[in-house]
Chains A and B, each alone.
Chain A
Amino acid sequence: QQQVKQSPQSLIVQKGGISIINCAYENTAFDYFPWYQQFPGKGPALLIAIRPDVSEKKEGRFTISFNKSAKQFSLHIMDSQPGDSATYFCAAQAETSGSRLTFGEGTQLTVNP
Chain B
Amino acid sequence: DAGVTQSPTHLIKTRGQHVTLRCSPISGHKSVSWYQQVLGQGPQFIFQYYEKEERGRGNFPDRFSARQFPNYSSELNVNALLLGDSALYLCASSLVRGGLFFGSGTQLSVL
B contacts with A, residue count (CB < 8 A): 28
Q: How far is the CA of A43 from the CA of B42 in the complex (A)?
A: 11
User: Of the candidates B56, B94, B102, which one forms a contact with A44 in the assembled complex, judged by CB atoms under 8 Å apart?
Assistant: B102
Q: How far is the CA of A60 from the CA of B98 in the complex (A)?
A: 20
Asked if residues A32 and B98 are in contact (CB atoms below 8 Å), the reply is yes
Which residues of chain A from 35 to 56 have a CB within 8 Å of any chain B CB? Answer: 36, 41-46, 49
Asked if residues B42 and A100 are in contact (CB atoms below 8 Å), the reply is no
Stretch of A11-19, A65-73, A89-97 with 4 or more beta carbons under 8 angstroms from chain B: A89-97
Q: Mark A86-113, 1 if CB is under 8 A from B, else 0.
A: 0001010101011111111110000000
Least Cβ–Cβ distance between A29 and chain B, in angstroms: 13
Asked if residues A105 and B55 are in contact (CB atoms below 8 Å), the reply is no
Least Cβ–Cβ distance between B14 and chain A, in angstroms: 24
Can you list the 6 inter-chain pairs with the closest CB atoms, starting with the nearest? Answer: A103-B42, A43-B102, A46-B99, A98-B55, A99-B94, A43-B104
Q: How far is the CA of A41 from the CA of B90 in the complex (A)?
A: 11
Q: What are 24 A-B residue pairs whose CB atoms fall within 8 Å in the complex?
A: A34-B99, A41-B104, A43-B90, A44-B43, A45-B102, A46-B100, A89-B42, A93-B97, A93-B98, A98-B31, A98-B55, A98-B56, A98-B97, A99-B48, A99-B50, A99-B94, A100-B33, A100-B48, A100-B56, A100-B58, A101-B35, A101-B43, A103-B43, A104-B42
